[in-house]
Amino acid sequence: MTTFDDREHAYENKFAHDAELQFKADARCNKMLGQWAAGLLGKAGPEAEAYIREVVTADFEEAGHEDVFRKLSADLGEKADAETIRAKMAECMTEARRQVLEEES
């Protein structure tokens, strides 16, 4: 195997690893968002857990995070405006990435 092949293999492995970490961070972020929204909606126990799963699975509708934003925006209505939801999404993503990277170490 040549040095070029080794380098190509290393880049492929890094890409796969980074994609896996991003997937984990996205899922964790969505779970945090679901917990936050469930609290605002007054959901607790099994009802909150079911709602959290709905938020996590909403992310599979399309690429990006707009599908989750639309779900939260529709569900929360007057309880949280777009700016508040987007700020919470950014906050949760920062925390989710930190947690995932910390677990990797």
CATH of 3-104, one of 1.10.3720.10, 1.10.790.20, 3.20.20.80, 3.10.620.30: 1.10.790.20
Q: Which helix (H) or strand (E) holds 94?
A: helix 82-104
Regions of the chain short of the pLDDT cut 50: none
Looking at residue 1, what is its pLDDT? 60
What local confidence, expressed as pLDDT, does residue 18 receive? 79
The CA–CA distances, whole Å, from 70 to 46, 58, 67, 79 equal 23, 9, 5, 14
Rounded Cα distance between 69 and 55, Å, is 9
Q: What's the rounded Cα separation, in Å, for the pair 19 and 70?
A: 24
DSSP class of residue 65 equals: S
For residue 99, the model assigns a pLDDT of 96
- Specify the pLDDT at position 16: 86
Entry pTM: 0.85
